[in-house]
């Protein structure tokens, strides 16, 4: 697949100067993920973006010369363009123009695997494109061929708005059914008293790597933005025997398009029902603290602040551990690529489990093997001593709060 030649455009303003550099670097990575080759980055400083053309007339003329000189296939703006801006800039440049939102939606369209993932991406794209149908004529010819064109095809967009609105209604209905099914599955897990762990974090922090490390899930694990899109839940058995579920989620990103927050609410809502969240952070990232802030802000937006969180500082192999200063607590610093990392991670998770669960101790008769194996599977059993004289098992461990009714032998 041939790479498209792309020019990036960004405006540093009084509002975005603190995150501007990292945002432009991210745009570069996003373009690479979408199979584009960045041949030039045009950067401008101004108090605020120009209301008509984002960069102003003079800079737009310069951009037009750059497009010709570099034979660019596409121009990507690091700002969400209004339908009018998009039309004006496109006409002036005589080249296809998309914005950061469209680029992210495009990558999501590439990554979606499940029926729900595909529906959610299509919904987000249609929501985004509906007000932008006027003046799309020139861009229509690119549909199905290049960055910003994946997802709903030509026929869906060239027909009138009513068709798109109908399609949006149908998708929303289908997503409701999928969400109801997910709710039933979630309720089953709840009823069975399974401890649920959720992975969250900035995109490309290593969530899928950690899921694979714990569960051998063999998920798609790549040094790319948005490598995982569809939530994946796997069972994981701790060395002591306790069975829990671990769910991977889509990565967060600065200025996540609002269309995507809405479309992926059901996916991210999965995290609200977790007993413990593992917040994975790339310890070696230059923008680590900014990425942490982004995730914490989105967690607040999704009402996740009530769930206990363990921060996993990943990729310790890329930094000097002696110089590392963590900002979030409780935490553990590991390299998911090392065997030692797995041990450290399991220990840290166990410590958190003991904070969340309630301690118990109980005595079982020698013939209560079934009950013993259930306690091993459903509680964190730390000591299991057999008394030869009494022919009894003396057990100590931790169970989910309110478990006394489920395990009559437990004394809380």
The 10s digit of each residue's pLDDT in 282-320 is 999 988 999 999 899 888 888 888 999 999 999 999 999
What does the block give as tokens for 291?
Answer: 């990425």
Residue 82 lies in a domain: yes
pLDDT at position 143 is 46
Q: Are residues 318 and 292 in the same domain?
A: yes
Using DSSP bridges, classify how beta strands 392-399 and 380-387 pair: parallel, antiparallel or unpaired.
antiparallel
- CATH number for the domain spanning 62: value is 3.40.50.11060
Range of the domain at 51: 2-105
Output the known binding site: 201-208, 226-230, 248-251, 314-317, 335-337
Q: Are residues 341 and 240 in the same domain?
A: yes
- Residue 63 clears pLDDT 90, i.e. is over it: yes
pLDDT at position 311 is 98
Using pLDDT thresholds of 50, 70 and 90, give the confidence band for residue 184: confident
Q: Are residues 41 and 99 in the same domain?
A: yes
Q: Are residues 254 and 176 in the same domain?
A: no
pLDDT tens string 268-279: 777 788 899 999
Using pLDDT thresholds of 50, 70 and 90, give the confidence band for residue 266: low
- Residue 150 clears pLDDT 50, i.e. is over it: yes
Domain count for the chain, please give it: 4
Distance CA 57, CA 219 (A): 48
Output the known binding site for Mg(2+): 208, 228
163-177: average pLDDT? 90
Residue 406 lies in a domain: no
Q: Are residues 362 and 342 in the same domain?
A: no
Q: Are residues 339 and 365 in the same domain?
A: no
- Residue 136 clears pLDDT 80, i.e. is over it: no
Are 71 and 39 in contact, with CB atoms under 8 Å apart? no
Least trusted range by pLDDT, from 136-145, 171-180, 266-275, 365-374: 136-145
Q: Are residues 199 and 293 in the same domain?
A: yes
Residue 34 lies in a domain: yes
pLDDT at position 329 is 96
Output the known binding site for GTP: 201-208, 226-230, 248-251, 314-317, 335-337
Residue 327 lies in a domain: yes
Residue 79 lies in a domain: yes
pLDDT at position 116 is 82
Q: Are residues 345 and 204 in the same domain?
A: yes
Q: Are residues 276 and 295 in the same domain?
A: yes
Using DSSP bridges, classify how beta strands 331-333 and 232-237 pair: parallel, antiparallel or unpaired.
unpaired
pLDDT tens string 323-366: 999 999 999 999 998 889 999 999 999 999 999 999 999 999 99
What is the percent of the chain where pLDDT is above 90? Answer: 56
Residue 220 lies in a domain: yes
Residue 411 lies in a domain: no
Are 120 and 175 in contact, with CB atoms under 8 Å apart? yes
What does the block give as tokens for 401?
Answer: 């709060």
Q: Are residues 330 and 211 in the same domain?
A: yes
């Amino acid at each position: 697949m041939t790479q498209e030649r792309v020019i990036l455009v960004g405006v540093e303003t009084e509002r975005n100067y603190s995150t501007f550099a990292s945002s432009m670097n991210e745009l570069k990575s996003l373009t690479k993920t979408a199979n584009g080759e960045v041949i030039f980055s045009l950067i401008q400083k101004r108090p605020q973006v120009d209301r008509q053309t984002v960069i102003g007339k003079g800079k737009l003329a310069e951009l037009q010369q750059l497009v010709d000189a570099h034979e660019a296939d596409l121009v990507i703006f690091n700002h969400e363009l209004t339908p009018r801006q998009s039309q004006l800039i496109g006409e002036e440049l005589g080249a296809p123009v998309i914005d950061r939102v469209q680029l992210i939606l495009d990558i999501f369209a590439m990554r979606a695997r499940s029926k729900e993932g595909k529906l959610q991406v299509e919904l987000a794209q249609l929501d985004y494109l509906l007000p932008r149908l006027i003046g799309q004529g020139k861009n229509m010819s690119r549909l199905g061929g290049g960055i910003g064109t994946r997802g709903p095809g030509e026929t869906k967009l060239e027909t009138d708005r009513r068709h798109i609105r109908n399609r949006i209604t149908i998708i929303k209905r289908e997503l409701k059914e999928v969400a109801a099914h997910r709710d039933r599955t979630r309720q089953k897990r709840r009823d069975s008293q399974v401890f649920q762990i959720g992975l969250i974090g900035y995109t490309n922090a290593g969530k899928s790597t950690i899921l694979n490390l714990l569960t051998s899930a063999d998920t798609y694990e790549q040094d790319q933005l948005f490598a995982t899109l569809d939530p994946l839940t796997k069972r994981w058995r701790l060395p002591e025997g306790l069975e829990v579920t671990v769910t991977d989620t889509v990565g967060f990103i600065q200025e996540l398009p609002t269309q995507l927050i809405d479309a992926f609410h059901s996916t991210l809502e999965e995290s609200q029902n977790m007993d413990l969240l593992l917040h994975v952070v790339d310890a070696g990232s230059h923008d680590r603290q900014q990425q942490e802030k982004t995730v914490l802000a989105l967690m607040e937006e999704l009402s996740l602040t009530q769930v206990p969180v363990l921060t996993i500082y990943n990729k310790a192999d890329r930094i000097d551990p002696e110089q590392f200063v963590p900002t979030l607590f409780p935490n553990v610093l590991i390299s998911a690529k090392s065997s030692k990392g797995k041990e450290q991670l399991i220990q840290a998770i166990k410590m958190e489990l003991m904070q969340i669960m309630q301690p118990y101790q109980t005595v079982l008769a020698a013939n209560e093997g079934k009950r013993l194996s259930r306690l091993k599977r459903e509680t964190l059993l730390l000591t299991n001593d057999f008394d030869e004289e009494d022919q009894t098992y003396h057990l100590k461990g931790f169970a989910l709060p309110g478990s006394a009714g489920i395990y009559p032998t437990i004394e809380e």
